[in-house]
Structures are given as C-alpha cells and as structure tokens.
A and B are shown apart, each in its own frame.
Chain A
Amino acid sequence: MKQDPALLNVHDLQVRFHTPEGTIYAVNGISFHIAEGEAVAVVGESGSGKSVCMMSLLGLIPIPPGEIVSGTAVFLERDLLKLPEKELELVRGRDIGMIFQDPMTSLNPVLTLGRQLTEALVRHFNLTAEEARNRAIELLQLVGIPDAASRLGNYPHQFSGGMRQRVMIAMMLACNPKLLIADEPTTALDVTIQAQIVELVQEIRAKLRMSLIWITHDLGVVAGLADRVLVMYGGTIVEEADVESLYERPQHPYTLALLAALPRVHQRRQSRLKAIPGAPPHLILELTGCPFAPRCEFVRDRCWRERPLLQPVSPTQKTACFVNPHTGEERA
C-alpha cells in the first residue's frame, strides 16, 4: 500500500446499538488508514456499516443506544475517540468536513445562505464581515453557483437538489478541511448532476490537496473517483485494494460476485445477470464466522466458525477470506 504518512489511522473499531429488539453489531472490528491527499471509497450495500463507521469517528452517533466497544482513531496525532466533545466539535468544524446525501439536514432552513456561510468564516478565521462576505462569494463561485453575490440572500429551499449539494460543499470548504467525508452525497441526484458534483469534488481536491473518504453503494462512481477502495459487508471490511486491482482482480468472493452482478453500460447484453442469492445479514447476532458465508459459492466449513481476518495477498490488496476465488483453493 502507499507509504504516505497516514492522516487518519483507525484500529479495531467496534460499534454496537442496544435496541429493544436486541443488540445490533453494526461495526465489527474495522482497521484502515487514509494517507494525506488520498481518495478512499467505502463501498457496500445498505446496512453494511459504512455510515456508522465514519460517524462514530466524529462523535456523531447517538450514545445510547450506540456504544463504541473498542477502537482508536488517530487523526493528526490525537485519538478522536478519546477527545472531549468540545474539541471534537472543533475538529468537525475545521479539520474534517462532511457532506451528506440530504444537504437539508446540515443547512439551516431559516437562515440565508450568506448568513450561514459568513458565520462559519467569522467564527473559524476571525474575518471581518466584509472579508467574510467576499470569501463567501468566492467559495460559491468555486463550486459553480452562478450569480453568487445575489444568491447570498437566498434560503436553502430556493436551490435545486444539485445546487444545494454545491452549497454544502461551499460550506464545508469555508473551513478548508484536511479531510472530507462524503456520505453518499450523490445518491439522490440524477446522473448528469452526479457527474457535475463528482467533477467538482475532484477539482477541489486537486486544488486544495484534501483527503477524501467517499461512501457509496455504487461501484461505478468509485471507479472514476478513488485511489483506494474499502469494501464493506456485514460491518466488516472484506477487501481493501487500490482501485485498479479491485476491478481487475477482485480477491474476495463478495467483491467478485458484486462486480459480476453489474450490467455494463458499454457492453452488449451477453447473458443473464449473475445474481447473488440470499440477502445481506441483519447484524443482530455477533459474528462468529464470515458474514458472507451464507451467500458464498466458495464457502467452507471453517467459514461458519472462524472469522477470516483482512490479510495482504499482494502489495496493493488485502482480503478477508480463506479461499482464493480465482482458483477455488484455500489460501496458504
């Protein structure tokens, strides 16, 4: 893997929710790192633990019912999981920016855009009102909002879905963060608007040397955007690879099956789709073996009892599986 210094280093993160229906084992011992300037995609189906994993690092899951059972998350030499709320709030405002699927959850509906943008600038950078206003206009121009100066007086509902997502990105940029965590920011948008937003984030990232964690369920988006990919299933990382290796030679049976189930826009129809039987797990039982075992065509006896750990299989790829899906044989 890349040997750049890690900006964020997460080790053995476990998160559970204690609900009236029982305990939900949402994140089950996850370790990963993000290097400076790197773009990492976190891919997985709904309920695989993507959001909980990232939100728990930022103190954004409700406790209770949530519980962070174990883990460390070192960001700029400090463990986020041990920071007092006050300091964590500063990290969220300044060092780590976030954008979500629904921008309305983080925009205040009763304040004008100008007010929300300039407040952040005044608070974090001690700018004067005049300076903040100019910087706000610059930021809106940077994210491609036409007529930026006159739109400062608009309220969030006066923007379309795609424009709101741009506004969110401008808000996030106001703080000039080192890391951007984007949680399915384009899932609710049409493909043409999605393409605009992806392009915008890429441009900004290149300009500001910002690291990126992009959470998505869309393997198409990932291919055009990420340097490295974490594939999640059942609250675990089942595969970690640089983007080329992942698509060229996936090493986990789940990744392999997922890619095989996708129709390709550039290919003529060849045959029926290769569906994955069954459904993703509910996470109401503690993992004893591999979470994918019930749906895996390579499953062995030990997969039900023993949890495969994420192990390197090449300099650019790790997989949590006892079997090599290309040979069907157990790994040494």
Chain B
Amino acid sequence: MILKSETLELREDNAVVRVRQRARALAIEIGLGLVDQTKIVTATSELARNTVDYGGGGTATLDVINEGNRRGLKLTFSDQGPGIENIDLALTDGYTTGGGLGLGLSGSRRLVNDFSIDSTPGIGTTVSITRWI
C-alpha cells in the first residue's frame, strides 16, 4: 500500500540534488538508520543521474510504502530515452557507455533490498529500488 507519494522532474544535475534531498528526508521520516539512509540516497543519486544523462531526463517518484507490518521507501526513475539493449551487460560492474565508472546500476542494486529494471530500446527505461525498515 502506498502511504505517501511524490513525483519530481529530473531534467538536469540540480534536480539530481533535489531528489537526493527528498529521498534523505523521507528515509529519515520512516526511521531508516544513518547507514541505510546513506545507501538509499547514494543509489538515488546514481539512478537519477542515469535518468538525466542517458535517459534524456524523466521523473523520480518517491513512495513511502507499507507491506504487512513493514514500511519502506520505494523510488522509481522513469524516462522515455533510448532504453538499454543488453540489461545484463549494463548491470555488470565497470560497464559504461558514457565514460563513467560503470557502478551506477550494479552498485545501486547492492545498496537496496529490492531492485527492478524494465527497459525497452526506443521506448525508455524504468528502474525501481526499495529499502525496507
């Protein structure tokens, strides 16, 4: 069940900072500890930047969710950019087409409890992450 939801535009690097700050605020609000806050905020930064840099911009949706008696922070990054041809390859440590470190997708996956990616070439990319408390 979604207890609270907000959607932010992601068009440029200042917006990445804004989404990071909202993710931090909500992580604190649901009671995540400092290390878990830092993990979800770092993953947020990576995925938000991908949305801007590779997806040509898009949105970040931040949901406070409830499942049984646990609460979580779920973030969804969506764009209508070029999509990813080979998702397994993109999820490999060190793989980059943009001169980065290639740790954004693979590293974010390690930092959260749930990770899902849905991408279709020519249609766009959606990545969702959740950290449960």
Q: Do chains A and B stick together as partners?
A: no
Query: Which B positions have Cβ atoms within 8 angstroms of A?
Result: none
